[in-house]
Each structure stands twice: as structure tokens, then as C-alpha cells.
A and B are shown apart, each in its own frame.
Chain A
Amino acid sequence: MEAVVAIAIGMLTACGVFLLLRARTFPVVLGLTLLSYGVNLFLFASGRLRLDAPPLIQAGAAYTDPLPQALVLTAIVIGFGMTAYLLMLALRALAESGDDHVDGRMKP
């Protein structure tokens, strides 16, 4: 299972990085979203993978590590904020420069 998750993380990172390096704003936003998935999974995995052990306190139950979960929860929400912000920047840049190139200009 660890290998499966590791492959997933690697896949998401690779796709995210590739899209981040594109020249237009929209693929960059998309790449950031994919990269966030990968990084969130990575942070989450630092608490190791446990099945059927949610960190809800009950008598005599086993729990997975709650701390990475709390961190990832905030990371997801911040990721949403960042995506939203980047999209708004992209729209603003489009309105200002009439172009959606990340450098604010057409390629010569």
C-alpha cells in the first residue's frame, strides 16, 4: 500500500510540476492544484497509513496520528485560498495585459 501511495504522490508531483512550468496562467493554476494534492498526501503520509483507526476517541480503540491530519486539513483549505487567489490574479492580468501569458506578454 505504501508503494501505491508513493507512486500516487510521485505522479501528482510530476504532473503538477510539468503544468506549473507552462507559459499560460490556466495550466499553472491546474498544476498548482495537482501539486497540492500530491503535497497534501505526502504530509498526510508522514503519519503513516493506518486502516480503520480514525482519531475519534472511544474506549479501547486504536488511533492513527491526528497531527498530520490537522495540518493537512488546514493545508487543503489554504490550498483552496491559494487557487482562488491565483485565478483572480490571472483574470486581473488578462484584463490588464490582454493576454494570459505568465510573463504578461506574448512570446516573441
Chain B
Amino acid sequence: MSETSLLPLIVASAFIGCLIPALLARFGRGMGALGAAGVMAGCLALLAPLIPAVLAGEALVTAYAWLPGYGLDLAFRLDGLGLLFCLLILGIGLLVVLYAYYYLPGGHVRLPHPNPLPHPQGVSPPGLAAKPLNPARQAGEGANESLREISNHGDRLGRFYTLLLLFMAAMLGVVLSENLLLLVVFWEVTSISSFLLIAYKREQRESRIAARMALAVTGGGGLALLAGVLLLGHIAGSYELSVVLAEGERIREHSLYAPMLILILLGAFTKSAQFPFHFWLPNAMAAPTPVSAYLHSATMVKAGVFLLARLHPALAGSGLWFWLVSGVGAVTLVYAAYTAFHRYDLKGLLAYSTISHLGLITLLFGLDTPLSVVAGVFHIINHAIFKASLFMAAGIVDHECGTRDMRRVNGLFKFMPITATLAIVAAASMAGVPLLNGFLSKEMFFTETVGHPVFEEMRWLLPLFATLAGMLAVAYSSRFIHDVFFNGDPIDLPRQPHEPPRWMRAPVEVLVVLCLLVGIFPQWSVAPLLGAAAGAALQAPLPAFELAVWHGFNLPFVMSLVALAGGITLYALRKPLFALHDRLPSVHAHIAFERFYEGLTSLAHSIVNWLDNSSLQRYLALFIVFVLSLGGWAWLSGPPAVAAAAYQPADAAAFAALATLIVGALGATLLHRQRLTAIVFASVVGLVVALAFVRFSAPDLALTQLAVEVVTIVLLLLALHYLPQTTPAEDSGPRLARDAALAVGAGAGLGAASFAMMTSPFETISGFYLAQSLPGGGGANAVNVILVDFRGFDTLGEITVLAMVGLAAHALLDRLALTAPGRDSDGRPWARERHPLFLSMLMRPLLPLALAVSVFILLRGHNLPGGGFVAGLVTGVALVLQYLASGIDFAQPRLPRHKAKLLALGLLLAGGTGAASWLFGRPFLTSAHGHAALPLIGEIELASAMVFDLGVYVVVVTVVLMVLAQLGRLSRHGFPEKCGEAA
């Protein structure tokens, strides 16, 4: 196995490994944690053999085709940047697994009740119950999370670890992707899995709202990222990073560069909680603290800055990049630092400080000098280390005190001196105190602000800004240290604080030791990894830089000193500053977002309720409106109609037919409430249409129309027997006017369209059919040959549909009991003589005649007007007449009982004829033809297609019989008895 094939294996084993904690958790919570740790350790072990090559500056790439047509391949890449993130994800992940084991309740707290079902509230979808937020409550200053979650944890530790691993797997996918589309796929998985993690305490409304907000913001950003990546792939000609990163020059000069850059940055900024998308992150503190420590310090929020680093060679180097990225980063840096200083909630402070540090990293990538990129990558490492330890320390405080409100949590140093020392060191690193890792990257940041090439004119601006940000960082770090661990005594804590369990503190200890190691021995500890990662982010030779604690007494060092002194002064002045802050108008971006979200959903609900009011009339009217607007739009925007064809002159007969048709259609419409009358009018229309077919050289159509007309009218009459004879006058005037307008619009539209069509130049595609009808299909009737031969497959589908209608007749009407009214609409009883002798005597001899005619039509169909459809309808009509004349009791026993079998026979005949051509090695439905001499009839042309037509015939006859016989059978339930009663 080659080394690079380990890459997909790492990602795959992480995804598959997700299931392990869920399966193991049933054997005890320790097993769940062990399983999760095992998966992470396994991934680390798979990664280990690749590390030396990557540290030497290699980029390992491997690819498997997935959807090559879309440019989406399972392509993975491990370079310095990816390795750095893998180590962060897996290393901090391991610590979080250990920490969560102690943090989350379940092992040492037993539930009083045995009910393992989740809380009913927890099951309800988060979006439905939401109402506008209460700002005071939303601030959530120090709400105790660990007390509340004890009440219904159930068997949730397994779920927690599974989600954590799923998230980890997705993050590994993001940082190991070589293919940009694949990266977006994993990116979306991180959004979804973090949604599930934030909503871990799903019975709490704040958790659900926070999770939804995080998903909406980061998921929306993910969509923008997808669009941006598609554009980027379009510009670069490939989605492979190796290609894209080398195409920077061409990408920046492309006309689509600006929209592409903005879309991709939207993705990065939402994920990394940059202003103005920062508000989801403080809310996401509703998640359990291990999640915050993992997602909101080391991993997920770093995905955004990872993307900046990853695509830096391809996208950076333009003015747009500089102003957008450094501008957003700078605003975020200062705004969030200021807000962090004013928070009372321990986790809230950390959340805003995280946003601020992410802003710093963004700013560093935006400054866009080689050294600032190195500093950005370095700060990613340092921030992950100290912020994870700070979150864990805050979690310990919360866990031990029962609250994390800094107005109550004071003077903890004497209760938990070890934890306090650890937290103080980590916070000092956050403040940028020398000998700690945070100091090093902050010094690099200060160095880069001094003399940045873009600010030649105002060279004092950037350093001043940086110093201000540094002061604020010192101020909130001081607050974290002094408020929590000193500052008097605790006030009214729910629990008596003490040191946490030994191993709960261990992860913090590891991270703090790392802070010191990196801070004191940078060259020895972090330099190789940083060099490889920064080299990968730059895709260029590394600039010369020296990782040392002491660079001499220079301007950046002075800035650090000023920041330290200024920050401590700020903290000392906190009381008047807080009072001032309270008088400022407060802006709650998350509340504004929530209002917007609520408004949007209620708007969507009202639109859906208006459209979908479960009225078929409404649907149909909307549909017609939609079709009319589409048609109108096409009409107005299309090219003008070209009238090229010569018109056919109209004669008196045509006008007479038109007049008859109009009378029929209008009569049926205006008098539709008198249903019987309307049927009569409608039948006139059908006859005129049949005549029109005769006139315009379509004898087959005329025959079919005539036969269908008869069957349809009989059908309508039979159905009307059971339905009300009249329609009540219930439509309001406006409704009638609306429908009339729609009807006129539709009629005028289709009429105009057909006129334009008929008078436009005409080029037929039917030359082939006409030329091949006789030699190829063996029939002179081109229409019939098309139906049974050229386009026989269509016809096969069509008779299948018809067969379904027949079966539906059985399914819908069998054993249906409908009673027909005993009297007609005028209150007269039906005639007592149901089957007049005259009619039945006349019809019986007619049957063989009609059958002979239909056989004749069937046989001649291939050459002359006729065919299976018409013949089937004629036979059907003849049989139906027997029903009408002599009654169902006469007709039923004389006809085949199992009509469904007949249907099958017809379909088999048609399908079998088609399949038979396989026997001769020809495609489905290839026809053969020849001549045969029949006695009496003479020579006829025989084609295999005629057997197909026979199948059509059988199906049509059977369907007509099934439908009408089912309707007729209803009358046996209803009509005679009622009639007897009425008489």
C-alpha cells in the first residue's frame, strides 16, 4: 500500500468510526469515551507515517474518480497546512473526549426515574415553537448548563461522541480535500454536525434556536461558498487544488474574479464568525462546553480561516482581497474585543474573544505580505491551544460552581488553586504576555503593521489600531483572571466550589504546557510544523523569519508594553466604562436575525396557506394563471410571427360548421347547470369536430372521433343517472367574472397561438414516414403504419394506460353502492318499461353486423382508414348497445366473465408481437410483412404489425366494456328497487 492511499483511509475510518461510540456506549459511558478516543488515536496512527515527508515540504495527493463528469473526484491532499489542522483536530479532539467524559453527566449521577425516552419537548422540531426572543433571557448570563442537563440525559453520551466524531471526520475531510467540490461537501457536513452538537441539549429552547441560527448562517455561507467554488473552477478550468493554486495570475485577471472572491469570502466569513456574521457564535455557547472548546476554539470556526490560508495563493494579491479581508478582519478584531470586555458570562467573554482573534487572523491574511501569512498560520496554532484550555477551564468553573456569571463567580483561587493557575497562564497567553505562545504571534502581528506597504502615507494608523486591539485583549484577559479568581469572595453560588476530578483537569494541563513550550522554545517546538504549514499556505519559498522570545527593544515591543499597560488601565477603570457602555444603545444582531427569520417563516406559512388551501378550484385557477403568464411572457418576448403560408379560403360550409360549434360549446357552457341539456350541446361539438377531420384530410381521426363520441356520451349519460341532475347556482358574481376572464384569456391565447402557428412557414418531418410507409411498413395508411409500426412503442404505452383505466373501473366502482334517484329532475318517475321490446329486438340482429363491420375496419386499417382503435370502439359500441337495449341481466352472461384476463391477452398480443422480433435478432417491435390470399376477400397485405393492431383492438374493446359494465352494474343496485318504490 502506497503512503498516499492512507489519506482517504483516514477520512473513511473517521466517518465509519462515528458509529463505534454509539455502539459501545450501551456497555457503559467509559466504553463510549474509549471508543471515541480509539477512533481519533487510530486516525493519528494512520497519519503518523506521512508526517516526515510533509514536514520536508512535500504535498501528498491521491485521487479516485467519483463523478468525473462534474469534476468531482475523491481527491485528497496532505501538505503542511493540512497536517497542521489534522494535528489540531485530532490532538484537541482527544483532549476534548477525555474532558467531556467528566464534564457531561451520566456516570456519577443516576436518574431517579427509569424512563429512557427523551423529553417530549426535545423531540419537537426546533423551528416550530420559536417566538421572538426575550433579550434579557437571551443574554443568558451565566445560566448553569450542567445542572439542567442532568434531568434528562438518558443514554446520550454515545450520541454525543458519535456527533463529535462525525464533526471531526467532516473537518478532516475539509482540510484533506484536494478537490474543491469535495471540500464543499465536507464543509456542509461540518455545518450539519455542528448544528446537531449545538442542539445537543435539545430540550432547551435556547439550544434549538442557537443551533438553528448557526445552521442558517453557516449553511447560507456554505451555499455562497459552493457558488464561489463553481465560479473558481470555471475560471481555473479545474477543481483540483494543485491546478487552482498555480493559476493565481489568471484567476485575478478574470472578469468574474470579484463576484467569485466575494462568494468564497462569504463562506469563510460566516464560518469564522466575522463581522457582521459573528452573532451566531456567542449564541452557540448554548452547546455543552466540550463542544465549545472543540468547535468554537480549535476547529469549526477555524475552517473559515483555513479556507483563506488554503486559497491564499489563488485569490490573494489584489486590492479587493486586501481591503475586504483586512477590513472585515480589523473591524471584527476591535468590535469583538470591545464586546468581550463587557460580557458577564464567562463563556460569552470567551466567545467574543474568539471572534476577535479570528478577526486578527483574518486581518493577517488580508495584509497579504509573506510574513503576515506566516503570522496568521502561527496564530491559528496559538489561539487553538490557549482558547481550548480557556474554554475547558471555564467549563470546570461552571461545573464546580453551578454558574458562570462573573458577577457571582469571584475569588475562586483559594478553592481551586491549580485550575486557577492553569487558567491564568492561558489567559495571559491570550493577552500576549511574554514567554507564552500568544506573545510570539502577537509580536509578529505588530511587526507586520509597522511599515505595511499599502499605508505609506499614514504609517501610524495600522500600528495604532493594532495597539488598541492589544489593549482590549489585555483588558478582557485581565477581567477573566481577576474577576473569576480574585476580586473578593463568591456570591451565592449553587455549589461549593473545589478542584475538579484529576483527569478532568489533565487536558487543560497538557494545553497549558504547550503554551509554555511554544512560548519559550518556539524554534525547537513549533518551527518545523509552522514552516511546513506556512509554506503550503504561501505556495512559495518561506520568507526569512526568526522565532525568538527576544527580538531586541524595538517598536513592536514598545507596542506590546503599551498594550499591556493600557489594558490593565482599562480594566482598572472598568466601573465607569461599564456604566458608560450601559448608556449606549445596544444592538443585538442575533435578535434582529431571529426577527427576520420569524418574519420569513411566517411569510412563507401565509403564502403556502394561501396557495395550498386544499381547494382543487384554487389550484386549477392558479395553474391557469401561471400558464397564461408564461404564455403571455413568451408571446411578448418572442420574435414576431411570420405569416408566410398561403391561406386556405373559407367557404360557407366552414362558417356554418363554426356557427354550429360555437352554439354547441356556448350552449354547453351557459346551460351547464342543466346537465342533460349540456350533454346534448357537447355532443354537437364532438360531431362538428369529427366533420372537421373529414374535411381536412384525416379520415382516421374522423372515424375515431365519431366512435369515441358515441361511447363518451353514453358514459356521461350513465354517470349522470347517479349524479345530481342539475348544478346548484352557488358561484358568486366575482368568482364567475374571474373564471370568465381566465377562460377568455386562455381561449384567446390558444386561438391566437394556433392562428400564428397555422400561418407560419411549415416544414414537416414526416417525409420519412410517407416515403417508408409502403416499402418499410407494408401499409398504405400512413397514420396507421405510424401507430402500429414506426411509433409502435408509443402505442404500446398508450394501450397500457387504457388498460389501467379499465382496471381502475374495477377498483373504483366494484361493490360501490350508489342509489340513483327514483325520479328525474322534473319529478317524474322513470318509465316502467326498462328495456323496450322494440329496441332490444332491433339491436340483437345488429350485433353480428356491427361485429362484421369492425372486423372489416380492423383488417383494412393498415391500408385504408380504420385500424385497431376504431374497430375496438365500434365493437365496444355494439356491445354496449346490447346492454342498453336488453339490460345487464341479458348481456352479462353472454360476455366473457374475466375481463381482466382479456386485457392481459390484448397487452400480451401487442407486446409479444414486439418481442417476437427479438427471435429474429431484430430490435423490439420490428415489423415484417408479406401478402396472403384469403378466400372471398382476396389478396390482402399481411404485416406482423396487424397482430399488434389486434392487441390494440382487444384492449380497447375490453376497456370500453369494463367501464360501461361497471357503471351498468351500479344500476342493478340502485335503479330497479328505487323504481319499484316510486311506481
Chain A residues at the B interface, C-beta cutoff of 8 Å: 1-15, 17-27, 29-30, 33-34, 37-38, 40-42, 44-58, 63-67, 69-70, 72-74, 76-85, 87-92, 94-95, 100, 102-103, 107
Chain B residue nearest in CB terms to A6: B755
Check B617 against A77 for contact (C-beta < 8 Å): no
Bound Cα distance from A72 to B689, whole angstroms: 12
Residues on B with C-beta less than 8 A from A13 are: 743, 746-747, 749-751
Bound Cα distance from A52 to B783, whole angstroms: 15
With A15-B669, A18-B739, A27-B727 in contact, is A69–B754 under 8 Å at CB?
no
**Any chain A CB within 8 A of the CB of B698?**
yes
Bound Cα distance from A79 to B869, whole angstroms: 13
Chain A residue nearest in CB terms to B654: A4
Known pairs A21-B739, A72-B698, A91-B813; list 19 more (Cβ under 8 Å): A7-B662, A11-B666, A18-B742, A20-B620, A44-B701, A51-B697, A56-B863, A64-B698, A67-B769, A70-B791, A72-B701, A74-B787, A78-B801, A88-B963, A91-B723, A92-B813, A100-B724, A102-B617, A103-B615
With A9-B754, A37-B689 in contact, is A55–B798 under 8 Å at CB?
no
| B interface residues, tally (CB under 8 Å) | 113
Residues on A with C-beta less than 8 A from B441 are: none
Check B727 against A26 for contact (C-beta < 8 Å): yes
Check A80 against B719 for contact (C-beta < 8 Å): no
Residues on A with C-beta less than 8 A from B692 are: 5, 8, 41
With A17-B747, A57-B773 in contact, is A45–B764 under 8 Å at CB?
no
B661-694 contact mask (Cβ, 8 Å, vs A): 1 or 0:
1100110110011010011001001100100110
Bound Cα distance from A55 to B753, whole angstroms: 25
With A27-B672, A48-B758, A55-B782 in contact, is A33–B712 under 8 Å at CB?
yes
* Chain B contacts with A in 34-61, Cβ cutoff 8 A: none
Contact partner of B762 (CB less than 8 A), chosen from A27, A37, A48, A53, is A48
Residues on B with C-beta less than 8 A from A84 are: 715, 805, 809, 959, 963
Main secondary structure of the interface of B (DSSP, over half): helix
Of A8, A20, A50, chain B has the most CB atoms within 10 Å of the CB of A8
Residues on B with C-beta less than 8 A from A34 are: 665, 668-669, 682, 685
Check B746 against A14 for contact (C-beta < 8 Å): yes
Residues on A with C-beta less than 8 A from B742 are: 17-18, 21
Check B769 against A49 for contact (C-beta < 8 Å): no
Check A57 against B770 for contact (C-beta < 8 Å): yes
With A91-B970, A103-B614 in contact, is A66–B786 under 8 Å at CB?
yes
Residues on A with C-beta less than 8 A from B719 are: 26, 29, 87, 90-91
**Any chain A CB within 8 A of the CB of B705?**
yes
Bound Cα distance from A12 to B156, whole angstroms: 66
B728-747 contact mask (Cβ, 8 Å, vs A): 1 or 0:
10110000000110111011
Contact partner of B758 (CB less than 8 A), chosen from A37, A49, A57, is A49
How near does chain A come to B114, taking the closest CB pair, in angstroms?
47
How near does chain B come to A41, taking the closest CB pair, in angstroms?
7
Q: Which 7 pairs, one residue from A and one from B, show the smallest C-beta to C-beta distance?
A: A10-B751, A14-B747, A6-B755, A18-B743, A1-B648, A66-B782, A55-B782
- Total contacts A to B, CB within 8 angstroms? 302
Chain A residue nearest in CB terms to B643: A2
**Any chain A CB within 8 A of the CB of B704?**
yes
Chain A residue nearest in CB terms to B966: A88
Check A81 against B959 for contact (C-beta < 8 Å): yes
Check B754 against A42 for contact (C-beta < 8 Å): yes
18 inter-chain pairs at a CB distance below 8 angstroms, sorted by A residue, are A3-B650, A3-B755, A13-B749, A27-B672, A30-B672, A54-B698, A55-B770, A66-B769, A66-B783, A66-B786, A67-B786, A70-B787, A73-B700, A73-B701, A74-B869, A76-B704, A80-B708, A88-B963
With A11-B662, A70-B787 in contact, is A45–B701 under 8 Å at CB?
no
Bound Cα distance from A83 to B716, whole angstroms: 9
Residues on B with C-beta less than 8 A from A81 are: 801-802, 805, 959
With A6-B751, A10-B751, A55-B783 in contact, is A30–B708 under 8 Å at CB?
no
Bound Cα distance from A19 to B615, whole angstroms: 16
**Any chain A CB within 8 A of the CB of B956?**
yes
Check A6 against B780 for contact (C-beta < 8 Å): no
Chain B residues at the A interface, C-beta cutoff of 8 Å: 614-617, 620-621, 624, 645, 647-650, 654-655, 657-658, 661-662, 665-666, 668-669, 672-673, 675, 678-679, 682, 685-686, 689, 692-693, 695-701, 704-705, 708, 711-712, 715-716, 719-720, 722-724, 727-728, 730-731, 739-740, 742-744, 746-755, 757-759, 762, 764-766, 769-770, 773-774, 780-783, 786-787, 791, 794-795, 798, 801-802, 805, 808-809, 812-813, 816-818, 863-865, 869, 873, 956, 959, 963, 966-967, 970
How near does chain A come to B616, taking the closest CB pair, in angstroms?
5
Contact partner of A7 (CB less than 8 A), chosen from B723, B751, B769, is B751
How near does chain A come to B835, taking the closest CB pair, in angstroms?
23
How near does chain A come to B801, taking the closest CB pair, in angstroms?
6
How near does chain B come to A52, taking the closest CB pair, in angstroms?
6
Residues on A with C-beta less than 8 A from B662 are: 7-8, 11
With A26-B675, A74-B787, A89-B812 in contact, is A56–B864 under 8 Å at CB?
yes
Check B816 against A91 for contact (C-beta < 8 Å): yes
How near does chain A come to B691, taking the closest CB pair, in angstroms?
11
Bound Cα distance from A55 to B782, whole angstroms: 6
How near does chain A come to B180, taking the closest CB pair, in angstroms?
47
How near does chain B come to A92, taking the closest CB pair, in angstroms?
5
Check B696 against A64 for contact (C-beta < 8 Å): yes
Bound Cα distance from A12 to B963, whole angstroms: 26
Residues on B with C-beta less than 8 A from A65 are: 764, 766
Residues on B with C-beta less than 8 A from A53 are: 697
How near does chain A come to B434, taking the closest CB pair, in angstroms?
78
Residues on A with C-beta less than 8 A from B711 are: 80
Bound Cα distance from A83 to B801, whole angstroms: 13
Check A12 against B665 for contact (C-beta < 8 Å): yes
With A12-B685, A18-B739, A21-B620 in contact, is A63–B770 under 8 Å at CB?
yes
Residues on B with C-beta less than 8 A from A77 are: 704, 708, 798, 802, 869, 873, 956
Chain A residue nearest in CB terms to B746: A17
Bound Cα distance from A20 to B970, whole angstroms: 26
Bound Cα distance from A4 to B970, whole angstroms: 43
Bound Cα distance from A12 to B754, whole angstroms: 13
With A18-B740, A74-B787, A88-B809 in contact, is A67–B765 under 8 Å at CB?
yes
Check A4 against B723 for contact (C-beta < 8 Å): no
With A84-B805, A88-B813 in contact, is A54–B699 under 8 Å at CB?
yes
With A67-B764, A74-B787, A92-B816 in contact, is A57–B780 under 8 Å at CB?
yes
Residues on A with C-beta less than 8 A from B658 are: 4, 7-8
Chain A residue nearest in CB terms to B743: A18
With A7-B658, A18-B739 in contact, is A55–B679 under 8 Å at CB?
no
Check B782 against A29 for contact (C-beta < 8 Å): no
With A15-B665, A18-B740, A84-B805 in contact, is A6–B752 under 8 Å at CB?
yes
Check B686 against A37 for contact (C-beta < 8 Å): yes
Check B755 against A55 for contact (C-beta < 8 Å): no
Check A85 against B808 for contact (C-beta < 8 Å): yes
Bound Cα distance from A9 to B658, whole angstroms: 10
Contact partner of A18 (CB less than 8 A), chosen from B669, B700, B816, B967, is B669
How near does chain A come to B761, taking the closest CB pair, in angstroms?
10
Bound Cα distance from A88 to B734, whole angstroms: 31
Check A22 against B672 for contact (C-beta < 8 Å): yes
Residues on B with C-beta less than 8 A from A102 are: 616-617
Bound Cα distance from A83 to B711, whole angstroms: 11
Bound Cα distance from A37 to B537, whole angstroms: 69
Residues on A with C-beta less than 8 A from B650 are: 1, 3-4
Check B723 against A90 for contact (C-beta < 8 Å): yes
Chain B residue nearest in CB terms to A57: B780
Bound Cα distance from A99 to B747, whole angstroms: 30
Bound Cα distance from A22 to B669, whole angstroms: 10
Bound Cα distance from A10 to B719, whole angstroms: 28
Residues on B with C-beta less than 8 A from A2 are: 647-648, 755, 758-759
How near does chain B come to A95, taking the closest CB pair, in angstroms?
5
